[in-house]
Amino acid sequence: MMKTSFSTLACPDWNLSEVLAAAEKYGYDGVELRVISRELDLWKLPEFHGSALAATRAAVEDHGLVVAGLGSSACFHSPDAQERERNLDSALRMAEVAAGLGAPAIRVFGDRIQTGCTREQTTSWIAESLTQLAGRLKPDGVQVWLETHGDFASAADVSEIFAQLNSAEVGIIWDPANAFEQNGEAPLILPPMATRIRHVHLKDLTRDVQGLSHYTPTGEGDFPFDTIFTLLAGIDFDAFVSFEWEKLWHPELAGPEVALPHFLHWWKSREVA
């Protein structure tokens, strides 16, 4: 049975106590930690550092929740090996937090083909970095999940990355709305993805008369959710679906006290239907 969480992008100003209280109040199963109190590098906050991690994990569990995953900012598209190494170090710092909280994985990006570089080159750099990161994290029991995002949002492009991987510790955060927003691609799971999807991001959007996309309350936009759920049923997906309401990047969006309960109301109505 699929479980529900939300990305803290929806509530960038909240502290951890506020996040956990809201998740319990609204009825979520878990939280996906991306930002707390406007800080993206969670290890910089005292509750996510060193010996405090045990108390933080206990607080999460006291609310009847789990940490569904941690979102890092690490991406591996740079032609500069030293830059990729810096992103690797950033991911490792986030993985320390994940291990302390009992979270299954950290999220990383591909992400953008840089000027003067080819898709083939960039795919190779991403695959190499993912393999290296997964190997370093395996002893800690923390996986690496690549989000379908940026220039690697489409099913075909993310599948090409995984065609170059042989590490079972690298999974996919499937965010089909990213590809839908960029080029109208309908939700699609290709064979290289089918056994790799560990986590799913859900969000809705609509297009204006100029063809520009705008986030909208779940179920009120143009995104084909029925297709997603048919595909997820086809791979027997039973992990977390995470509501991603990107208020940090789009401050004009409704506040979390509106968006978070709305998502769960929509989710439950879908289950009844």
Mean pLDDT of 59-79: 98
- For 169-180, the DSSP string reads TEEEEE-HHHHH
CA distances from 175 to 17, 137, 232, 236, 249 (A): 27, 24, 12, 17, 17
Here the CATH number for the domain that contains residue 75 is 3.20.20.150
Whether pLDDT at 273 is above 50? no
pTM: 0.97
Could you read off the pLDDT of 88-128 as tens digits, one per residue? 999 999 999 999 999 999 999 999 999 999 999 999 999 99
Could you read off the pLDDT of 73-91 as tens digits, one per residue? 999 999 999 999 999 999 9
Bridge partners, 56 (sequence order): none
CA distances from 15 to 20, 46, 48, 59, 261 (A): 9, 12, 12, 13, 18
Q: Say what the pLDDT of residue 225 is.
A: 96
Q: Which of 247, 241, 244 is nearest to 267 (CA)?
A: 241
Q: Are 134 and 142 in contact (CB under 8 A)?
A: no
pLDDT band at 209 (very low <50, low <70, confident <90, very high): confident
CA gyration radius, the chain: 18
Domain hosting residue 57, numbered range: 3-272
- For 8-70, the DSSP string reads GGG-TT--HHHHHHHHHHHT-SEEEES-BTTBSSGGGSGGGSTTHHHHHHHHHHHTT-EEEEE
Bridge partners, 195 (sequence order): none
Could you read off the pLDDT of 211-269 as tens digits, one per residue? 788 999 999 999 999 999 999 999 999 999 999 999 999 999 999 999 999 999 999 99
Q: Say what the pLDDT of residue 271 is.
A: 66
Map tokens 């206990």 to a residue. Answer: 58
Q: Say what the pLDDT of residue 92 is.
A: 98
pLDDT band at 26 (very low <50, low <70, confident <90, very high): very high
Q: Which of 263, 269, 232 is nearest to 245 (CA)?
A: 263
Q: How far apart are CA 12 and CA 30, in angstroms?
A: 17
For residue 204, the 8-state DSSP code is E
Q: Say what the pLDDT of residue 196 is.
A: 97
Kindly report the length of the chain.
273
Instruction: Give the number of domains in the chain.
Output: 1
Mean pLDDT of 145-156: 98
Q: How far apart are CA 58 and CA 44, in angstroms?
A: 19
